[in-house]
Amino acid sequence: MEIGEYGKKNGEKELRLLLSLLPPSRLVQELGIAPVPPSRGLSWKAGGHGGSVFVPLKETSVESLLQTTTHALAKLQVPREQLSEVLEEIHSGSCGAIYRTKMCTGDPAKPKSVVLKVLKEPAGLHEVQDFLGRIQFYQHLGKHENLVQLQGCCTEELPLYMLLEDVAQGDLLSFLWTCRRDVMTMDGLLYDLTEKQVYHIGRQVLLALEFLQDKHLFHGDVAARNILIQSDLTAKLCGLGLAYEVHARGAIPATHNVPLKWLAPERLLLRQASIRGDIWSFGILLYEMVTLGAPPYPEVPPTSILQHLQRRKIMKRPSSCTHTMYGLMKSCWRWSEESRPSLKELHSRLEIAARTANDKAVLQVPELVVPELYAAVAGISMDSLSYSYSIL
């Protein structure tokens, strides 16, 4: 019997039970999408909304899909008339455009700046399901001060909008590059960085990763380009697309590319990914910060990084890096993932190091960055450097 016929005959409750027992391949074959496994530990009652919320699996049209998800997303809906018609384009990609705009908050004198992600039209049923799934993933993930926050959505009709927190100062990598220039302040942000401040930013990233780990998730692409920075050096981890994919589909999709030089050996060997891989990448992040945005392994071609690591070679200590910080990096880069520190252990060691860290001497790197050269050495696309909000 086909799944659709079973549902009509036995009702929604029995249909959900059947879906929970079927293998992912059968769900993909029958329904065209992969399941969202609640067993991965994400609390579906996070954020105070409660109840079992999911993107409907058996809708036959975009209109019926939007209608059935309206209730689930009711608390997030923002009337479109509250959004300004003035849009500043941040990025235009294959899935849609990303804009910065203003949202009315009730006080005309204090509109709120938000980032608006728009699903590209025409959008088919699969694209709409995926877009709604990402909104619900953020909704039920809950809030954390070191993660970019979902501000709302407009999903009652097409085009679909996702509203995200605006961190106007931009990404950490661009901030680090600007710190190399002879610039003291720009747009209210002080472009200086000390060793103590590196630990301050690193601590916030660890807090965000601990939050994800508590949800039985991992990030999968920890890097300076995926961290947004505010004027008070509050760090916001973004780029949660891979976490969503793993949660929704149970595996990292073949189409999701992460730059090789940030990946742990087990990821390069296509073994099962985990939070321990994020710890490896966190060591790369420390290197990025202390070198003010230098590409990792500058002497190694991106495609040769696995062979380089298999020879148990790691990066040498940068001249601007203390032995204490380098010790933290090396602990993150242990080949065996079991021998790397846990997030809590790393957090504790970082806190201890921060107490005696230099908070006076400013990190200095005289060479300016040529983005095209950086992209080639780092093994990343220029497109990924062109905007800050690769959030979802």
Which residues are part of the catalytic machinery? 221
Pseudo-torsion of CA 36, 237, 319, 386, nearest 10°? 90
Q: Write the CB contacts of 365 (distance below 8 Å, at least 6 apart in sequence).
A: 180, 291, 292, 294, 320
Cα–Cα–Cα angle for 356, 358, 361, rounded to 5 degrees:
170
Compute the distance between CA of residue 333 and CA of residue 339 in angstroms, rounded to an integer. Answer: 9
Q: Tell me which residue has tokens 């209608």.
A: 67
Q: What is the DSSP string of 196-240?
A: HHHHHHHHHHHHHHHHHHHTT---S--SGGGEEE-TT--EEE--T
- CB atoms < 10 A from the CB of 90, how many? 18
For residue 99, the surrounding DSSP H or E stretch is strand 96-103
Scanning the chain, the segments in alpha helix (DSSP H) are 3-10, 12-21, 24-31, 62-69, 125-141, 172-179, 195-214, 241-249, 265-268, 275-290, 305-310, 323-332, 343-355, 371-378
Compute the distance between CA of residue 327 and CA of residue 28 in angstroms, rounded to an integer. Answer: 46
